[in-house]
Amino acid sequence: MHEIFLEIARDPIGYLQSWAKGSTRELALTFSGLFPLELLDAMGFHGVWLPPVLRNRYNRADTMLQVFMCSRARSFVDVVAGSELPVAAIGAVTDCDAKDVIPGVLHAGGCETPVVTLRMPIRVDTPAAVDFAVNGVRHWVAEAEHAFNRRLDPDLLAGACALRLRTRQRLSEMFQKLGTEVDPVFAYSAAVSAQVMEPEAFLHALDAAPWPKPDHKRRMIPVLMSGSELPNIKIIEDLAGLGALIVLDDTETGTRAASRPVQHPGCQDAETPPPPDLDGLLEAIGAGIVYKKHGPTKVSPAGNRIQGIVSAALDRGVQAAVLGLFKFCDPHAFEAPALIEQLKMAGIHSIVVETDKETGLLARERTRLQTLLEIVE
Amino acid sequence: MATPGKRLKRLIAGQMLASRGLKTLGRPVAWVTSGAPVEPLLALGVIPFYPENHSAICAAKGMGAPLCQQAESMRYSRDLCSYFRVDLGSQVTGQSPFGVIPAPDLVVASNNICGTVQNWFRIIAQRHGVPFLFVDTPYSDNPPTRAEVEYVQTQLQELTQKVAGLTGRKFKESDLVRVEKNSLEALKLWAEILHFGAEKPAYFTSFDAFVYMYPIVTLRGTRWAVWFYKKLLQDIKDRRRHGQQSVPGERARVVWDNIAMWPVHKGLRKFFMQHNIALVTDTYTDAWRSDHLDPAKPFESMALSYTDIILNHGPMFRVNKLIAMVRDFKADGFILHSNRSCKRWSLGAYAVKKMVTKATGVPGLVIDGDMADPRAVSLDNIKHRLEPFFEMLTDE
Ligand code: SF4
Ligand code: SF4
């Protein structure tokens, strides 16, 4: 049952194409873990946070965009512009420069799929930012109802909130046990699958069998995996192959997106959701986007993020860190020197793995990583 | 009589001298982003310094490559904005065409121009161990909503209180109104000056604007900027009276999108002149043409003014802006600088080009470059791209 996760993580497009053939629900996409998929679900869509789809050429995206956009964003544009999936709607969200321009690029490039942007604050440290986020969610719903020509169903929203929250809570539990009780390849495959599968199907598959454990017979080096979104599951497989055991995650794919709360009584029980309280739910969704664990795209009290990563790394006995960066990802490239420095001061050496088009580790990255692991062993 | 260029040099020298002098007398200095709301700072007697503008001048003076390399040696990626890399290199080495730069007592940034500055200016604040104050101006493909303006307004009021508290200076709204009136006057003069590019033949071009924009960026809110632009306006009017057009024998008119290419600025200007092509307007210097400021509503109008700017909007806003520019400035073509340093401004250039051409019927060209890193700009390559484009534009 769990094999499906690895299959999806390796080929999310293939999975969605066959899902679309067998489903009456329409597909709505987003490209960010900030976007609350429950809003799309509550409009009757199957909401999907499309993972990065790395390829050697981005033929369609390259007619609209320059190569100096991260391939996380370029691949999204490529999939949508190439009509590889029957996408009925897109929920965009403001965050980094790359994500901000995607809707405009799609529009200017002649894409006819309706795109509605959720406007979120960059600050996540003030009550005004929370108010702004709440307002942003309400505004998004009004705009989307018009642009998508659908109503957001309050009953569906309560159920979707509960299911999606349950999914994130289960992922958080799993990432707590990363590398100790849960195999990292399994954990990341499951996290990617949660972005793509319908939540009921995902939860069912997740609990269908005990979670695979890491291979404790081999001598492995405990490492931290930090970065934006996981470019591809092959990287995690390659790391495991080289003897790196991920015991701590700091990625949007893993713990960060899973940390988004929705603090509302209507979300606590997926089976018996209480009567819908649309306004309260939208408020809780907006606030949750601010309260979640963020990457370096947000402005929060200076230094807190890096200090938090370093102390968690020390707690988990991390011996080496892998900074998985997309080439041209400014927020993480800005943060990397300080993160590397602080980790070094804590006795943890880092390696930067930069991804553009290729899946998995390049030969020179393997060699560098091997050397690093040998040094710390 | 002094030429505008000489006046500008004296103005910059005077500004730096005054900044250093006032700093030694205890006046606080704030390093700010080019789109930071500077009016409350000036109203509180804080002296602003603009690292982006400083980087542009370093680049124009040929200092870009070694300063970028310095930042790269500190593990900052070569893919990051070259203004940032030049600035960091300058901070670390102490090299600057300005001589000694007054150190900041605080840093004020706003993301209305890009996401880069929130990281860059935080790094400045950390290096100098000073407070980092940030104004979040939500990005949008549409004009700002009421809620967005209110969100920014609240932050501007908080910023003013925080700066007053940090510097121990007393805030008076009448001071803010006075500063805003200065800003507004300078902005209006600047808009009037830029409009001389719309005349056929042009009496002012973007190559001039790229140089003379310095006061509108760094001295906005002061009488110095107003003084400079009044003189410049008079100079241009005099030139027009004497029939001294900007590009003698003007054969074609072109619009520019994005920041100037400082490392090749002079060579590019010469090349345009040789081909009798007038660069009549651009989206870069036009960004300081805003008319939202209203001293009768100082905070609210400031919130709108600093949120509703070109870089805080998506590619479709750029499309519409360029269409209007082609029409209003009677342009025969347009050039999009695909500036690998400035993603916010550049991404989507190919799609933008298609839409503008479709709407206006005039041809466009995308040229690769960088505003400050000479290793990413080749004047020869650019000339090879421009030559056939110019031939097409001037082909009768
Ligand atoms: S955070 Fe980085 S990788 Fe993600 S979309 Fe933005 S620039 Fe791309
Ligand atoms: S990315 Fe662009 S807007 Fe931002 S600081 Fe650099 S040049 Fe300026």
Parse chain A into domains and list their residue ranges.
3-158
Q: Tell me if chain B has a CB within 8 Å of the CB of A109.
A: yes
Q: Which residues of B touch A330 (CB under 8 A)?
A: 79-81, 115-116, 119, 343
Q: Mind telling me how many Å the CA of B323 is from chain A's nearest CA? A: 13
Distance from CA of A214 to the nearest CA of B (A): 34
Given an 8 Å threshold on Cβ–Cβ distance, is B119 in contact with A97? Answer: no
pLDDT digits (tens, 9 = 90+) for A281-324: 999 999 999 999 999 999 976 558 999 999 999 999 999 999 99
Distance CA A65, CA B352 (A): 10
Mean pLDDT of all residues in chain B? 96
Cα separation of A189 and B333, whole Å? Answer: 50
Q: Output the CA A327–ligand 1 centroid distance in Å.
A: 9
DSSP A136-179: HHHHHHHHHHHHTT-PPPHHHHHHHHHHHHHHHHHHHHHHHTBT
Q: From atom 4 of ligand 2, which residue's Cα is the shortest distance away? A: B114
Residue B126 has its nearest CB partner, among A110, A302, A333, at A302
Residues of B in contact with A129 (CB under 8 A): 136, 151
Neighboring chain A residues of B148 at a CB cutoff of 8 Å: 119, 132
Interval A65-98: pLDDT, tens = 999 999 999 999 999 999 999 999 999 999 999 9
Task: Indicate yes or no: CB of B347 within 8 angstroms of CB of A340.
Answer: no
CATH of domain B4-170: 3.40.50.11890
Q: Which residues of A touch B355 (CB under 8 A)?
A: 108
Task: Find the helix or strand (DSSP H, E) in which B393 lies.
Answer: helix B379-394
Query: Looking at the partner chain, which of A110, A297, A330 has a beta carbon nearest the beta carbon of B80?
Result: A330
Convert the pLDDT of each residue in B70-122 to its tens digit.
999 999 999 999 999 999 999 999 999 999 999 999 999 999 999 999 999 99
pLDDT at B396: 60
A3-158: CATH topology: Rossmann fold (3.40.50)
State the distance from the centre of ligand 2 to the C-alpha of B94, rounded, in angstroms: 22
pLDDT digits (tens, 9 = 90+) for B263-279: 999 999 999 999 999 99
Residue A76 at interface with chain B, using a CB cutoff of 8 Å: no
Ligand 1 is surrounded, with C-beta below 6 A, by A 70, 72-73, 96, 98-99, 228-229, 297, 326, 329-332
Residues of A in contact with B343 (CB under 8 A): 68-69, 97-98, 101, 328, 330
Q: Measured from the CA of B81, which atom of ligand 2 is nearest? A: 6
Least distant ligand from the CA of A50: 1
C-beta separation of A101 from B344 below 8 A:
yes
Render pLDDT for A33-58 as a digit per residue (tens, 0 to 9): 999 999 999 999 999 999 999 998 89
Separation between Cα atoms, residue A373 and residue A312, nearest integer Å: 20
Mutate to test the pocket of ligand 2, among B33, B81, B85, B121 (most ligand atoms within 8 A of CB): B81
- Contact flag B139-A109 (C-beta cutoff 8 Å): no
- Give the number of beta-carbon pairs within 8 Å between A and B: 148
Type of residue numbered A117: T
CA distance A62 to A262: 38
> What is the ipTM, given to two decimal places?
0.95
In this prediction, residues A261-277 reach a mean pLDDT of: 77
Query: At A364, is the pLDDT very low, low, confident or very high (cuts 50, 70, 90)?
Result: confident
pLDDT (0 to 100) of residue A376? 80
The domain locations on chain B are: 4-170
What 3-state class would DSSP assign to B248? coil
A104 in contact with B, Cβ within 8 Å: yes
d(CA B315, CA B349): 8
Q: Mark yes or no for CB contact A128/B155 under 8 Å.
A: yes
Q: Are B83 and B52 in contact (CB under 8 A)?
A: yes
